[in-house]
Structure 1
């Protein structure tokens, strides 16, 4: 296909070609399936009963825990900066006696 000029190289790694013109000669009946779960995602493509592509992705389950830890570190960082500042409730103009 490349030598005939019917396709061009799209990516070198992974090697992928893209058809230049629409064609009906090289069409395969491929069935794709995807299973989206809470911890794993499965993906597969089959043609004529043979598996062409199959993959499984394990999702991260520690993200909410890491976000809570990040928020805790942020709170302590903010508290560290104003150690000797007077308390906020006693630092209001409306509360000062004139």
Structure 2
């Protein structure tokens, strides 16, 4: 191989490697945005479901009635920081 051939091959490999890296970060970014959007849609759907579930309860349905229909209240996330545990003071 001549020096020009070596240089051309090195440039080709570097260019291909760079393009693959750019595509990888583009795919990661797109999937991250899609995940964020899906989480936001899920949160909105859970809020709407909980509001409709509460409305059904106010209309006289019981939680058991709704559960028998296969309609359960969405689980509520505790949110915020975890509670701090208290421990007994260390013996001196």
TM-score normalized with structure 2 length: 0.33
- Greater fraction of residues in helix: 2
- Greater fraction of residues in strand: 1
Larger of the two Rg values belongs to structure: 1
Task: Tell me: higher relative CO, structure 1 or 2? Use CA pairs within 8 A at least 6 residues apart.
Answer: 2
TM-score normalized with structure 1 length: 0.32
